[in-house]
Amino acid sequence: MDLVRRVSMMQEIVREKAGKGRKVAFVPTMGALHDGHLSLVRRARELGDFVIVSAFVNPMQFGPNEDFDTYPRDLARDQDLCIQEGVDYLFAPSREDMYRPDHHTYVEVEGLSSLLEGATRPGHFRGVATVVLKLLNVVRPHFAVFGQKDAQQVAVIKRMVRDLNVPVELIVEPTVREDDGLALSSRNAHLDPEDRRAAPVLYRALERARALVEEEGVREAARVDAAVREVLGTEPRARIDYVAIVDPDEFVPLERVDENTLIALAAWLGETRLIDNVLVTPRRVG
């Protein structure tokens, strides 16, 4: 496993090693790898002849009052994990190499980027789309693997890839959870013990929604929304940012839960903002 620190070096490696029918599978990350990332890496191993993981904490996707400075970073540990998982290259460029001082080009997926996560975090998806396109241009993978936990990110990237004809196949893998249901996230490291104890309420709220729709056959989005809020309300430490019942591609709110509906939420636990979601399909009646 080689650590690659320079964009030009990564491009050279890809030029030399890819091709000749060999498929590159790519897992973009911001480092601080956890089991959720490793499940993406394992999928990439199945898909590609060689696997590239990037670890780059992308300043462009953090707002001025967000946690860019405190976002967990541990390149040595990421390196060890990549070795264990049989990754071929860990690409960890510097900020200066990724963004020149006079960088002025951005990717804006309009509409989708201003809803939900985008409403709370203005500019976030512009930063995500820009860095993902840059990474795809450097790595030129056949497959890029993302996690369903960041459902809106997945929708934004799918739209960008479609609209800009980016030659990559996107693969989306299910959310990996702790035993108590908490979705794995690098930001979980910021939770203090009390907030960590409280955090699985997000999953319990989503599971309640799933049971309502898939077991009890409820289709009214307002009822599902109320049930999710009720469960979240049982945990005084959780502050709801949003609960949304939407189409997973367009992110438009639905009045009725349909096949493949996304129930997404964001909540604060102390200073840490967590997101989670489930995809549900109503029980067929009759």
Among all residues, which ones are annotated catalytic? Answer: 37
User: In the range 17-46, which residues lie near ligand PAF by CB under 6 A?
Assistant: 28-30
HSE (side-chain half, CA atoms, 13 Å) at 217:
4
CA dist., res. 246 & res. 264, Å (int): 8
Nearer CB in complex with ligand PAF: 29/175: 29
CB of residue 184 vs ligand PAF: minimum separation in angstroms?
A: 12
Total residues contacting ligand PAF by CB under 6 A comes to 10
Helix (H, G, I), strand (E, B) or coil at 173: strand
DSSP category for residue 182:
P
Nearer CB in complex with ligand PAF: 30/228: 30
Nearer CB in complex with ligand PAF: 168/254: 168
User: In the range 100-129, which residues lie near ligand PAF by CB under 6 A?
Assistant: 128
Q: Is residue 131 near ligand PAF by the rule CB under 6 A?
A: yes
Binding letters toward ligand PAF, positions 138-157, x by CB under 6 A: ------------x--x----
Expressed in percent and rounded to 5, the helix, strand and coil fractions of the chain are 40, 20, 40
Contact (CB, 8 A) for 243 and 228: yes
CB of residue 124 vs ligand PAF: minimum separation in angstroms?
A: 9
Binding letters toward ligand PAF, positions 42-81, x by CB under 6 A: ----------------x--x--------------------
For residue 27, which of 11, 43, 5 has the smallest C-alpha distance? 43
Each as own residue / partner, the long-range contacts of residues 251-256 (CB below 8 Å, 24 or more positions apart, any chain) are 251/112, 251/115, 251/116, 251/152, 251/155, 253/221, 254/221, 255/220, 255/221, 255/222, 256/219, 256/220, 256/221
CB of residue 91 vs ligand PAF: minimum separation in angstroms?
A: 11
Q: Point out which residues bind ligand PAF (CB under 6 A).
A: 28-30, 58, 61, 128, 131-132, 150, 153
